[in-house]
Amino acid sequence: MELPKIKILEEFDKRLREVSKEATFPLTDKDKQMIQDMITYLKMSQIKEYEEKYHLRAGMGLSAVQVGVLKRIFVIVEETDDGFKDYIVINPKLLSHSEEQIYVGEGEGCLSINRPVEGIVPRYARITIEAYDENGKKYQIRVREDIAIAFQHEIDHLNGILFVDKIDPKNPYKDQDKMREI
């Protein structure tokens, strides 16, 4: 497998603070290639051999804005017992969410933020979204736990929000007792 030629923007790049525009269908060949490159990059980042060879940090999700494209597109690559499950999410709309909130115990990470960050990010335990696949077919999906966190993290990117924005700087573990750790 060859590492795709994508450049992930660093946290101080102003483009990461912009709200991405709706993607239009049919997608361009360039957009389709970007989606495949992001998926390949994420898979390689989760495979030890490639992680070490290319000095990658493991990642589970990437939004188009993180590679400099301001379109409402993101991908999630989940490692499963059977290999990888890819989620291609275009123009997502949040339909519903659980009341229960969760957070990642060791803290969230982001491929655009190359520094340790203390604190917790409150997220919904379950969400339902409506989105489109790469062929413009509308679908609904309900996700939970770590995948729900990844979806919310990437939707934030599309809205110009980084996970560090959701951590209270004065009290990074605020309301921890009101949420469940995963």
Residues with catalytic roles = 154
Q: What is the DSSP string of the chain?
A: -------PPPTT-GGGGSPPBPP-SSPPHHHHHHHHHHHHHHHHHHSHHHHHHTTPPP-SEEEGGGGT--BSEEEEEEEETTEEEEEEEEEEEEEEE-S-EEE-TT---BTTB-S---S---EESEEEEEEE-TTS-EEEEEEEHHHHHHHHHHHHHHTT--GGGGS-SS-TTTTGGGSEE-
